[in-house]
Amino acid sequence: MSFAPKYTITAKTAAALMRIEAARQAVVHLPITPGVLATLRETARLYSTHCSTQIEGNQLSPAEVSQVLAQSQHFAWRERDEKEVLGSYAAIEKVERLAAAAAPVTEAQIQNLHALVMAGGTAKVRPTPYRDGQNVIRDGRSGGIVYLPPEAVDVPGLMRELVSWLRQSEPEGLPCPLRAGIAHYQFATIHPYYDRHGRTGRLLTTLILQLGGYGLKGRYALEEYYARNLGAYYAALTIGPSHNYYLGLAEAEITPWVEYFCLGVAESFENVRRRAEQAAATGARDLAPLLRQLDPRQRRALELFRPAETITSQDLEKLFSIAQRTGRNWLTEWSGTGFRVVVGASKKGRRYRLAGGFRELLGT
């Protein structure tokens, strides 16, 4: 049986979708300089990391999360929390790279995101296989069963159905925020692993939004909305007549969750809009036309030229976590766009600097 979510678009959901679109269009057309954009994006990453791990019980404060990511402070008594932060941040960066590649969502991508979350910031990971046994979710206080997910033998088929539905729903014209919210719910319902479902589900949500053009250049942190009222988050996810997946939950009406999710996206997008409007009001010259000449990879590569006048292919490889040959190929490709120029004639240790026209972007 293929996945076919049941829901109704309520008046609140419809209004939230309109708010989302209005905020999205406003942000796209606001004059945001690269420096401000980088600040907003990094702030969103930090809040996403902090709030997503906080939802799962992480005790590190926002300031401590920032110190861990900057490797400026080690909290010996909270090594588990540190690893969770590093893993979540690495997965957020992976989502951005996947979105830039513009490839459809796959099971392998989801498995890789889960592996990064579990690995605690380890550079190389292998896709996490689905659980091979039953996973029972119990109340931490009473020990009673809160949720009994589908049996392990059914998980691969359910995940294939979810990914297939994502591919089919896009050409059918289902609004991207709805697709993202439904996918989050279904992933949590399938519970394909023994742990870290919440974080992986929220990362999947972000990936779908970014692929659908609703990423706002990584400037929003939907996790902040969830963390502010965890009771409402879990209540919205708890749908159906029974805690058993096979006793009605698989066919449950998920309208309450869809409404809750879309309201959260609307609120998060409007927060970005307000911050962007404040930044635009500073009077900084709009460099958006110049930025539009660059593809997503080139825009991110600008970060390398800010602290250093010249870079190497190795710098590019570290930033994107790509193979050495891929980095060289990108730089060769960019020679035809006027984005970079070679410094020096030697091929060994060749360095590159930003071409004249684009150096103006570094002054912001």
Q: Say what the pLDDT of residue 16 is.
A: 96
Q: Say what the pLDDT of residue 364 is.
A: 45
Domain definitions of the chain by residue range: 11-280, 288-363
Asked if 36 and 279 count as a contact pair (C-beta separation under 8 A), the reply is: yes
- Residue 311 phi, psi dihedral angles, 5° rounding: -135, 170
Q: How far is CA 314 from CA 310, 324, 338, 349, 359, in A?
A: 12, 7, 20, 9, 21
Q: Mention the CATH class of domain 288-363.
A: mainly alpha
Residues with Cβ within 8 Å of residue 211, at least 6 apart in sequence: 98, 99, 102, 104, 105
Categorize the per-residue pLDDT at 17 as very low, low, confident or very high, splitting at 50, 70 and 90. very high
Q: Which amino acid is at 42?
A: E
Residues with Cβ within 8 Å of residue 88, at least 6 apart in sequence: 48, 49, 52, 53, 117, 199
- Going through 157-197 in order, the beta strands assigned E by DSSP cover none
Residue 140 CA, chain-centre distance (Å), reads 29
Nearest to 262 by CA among 213, 310, 333, 214: 214
Residues 96-152 have pLDDT tens digits of 888 888 889 999 999 999 999 888 766 678 899 999 999 888 876 777 788 889 999
Q: Which CATH superfamily is domain 11-280 in?
A: Fido-like domain (1.10.3290.10)
Residue 37 in this model has a pLDDT that exceeds 70: no
Rounded distance between C-alpha atoms, residue 85 and residue 81, angstroms: 6
Rounded distance between C-alpha atoms, residue 181 and residue 205, angstroms: 7
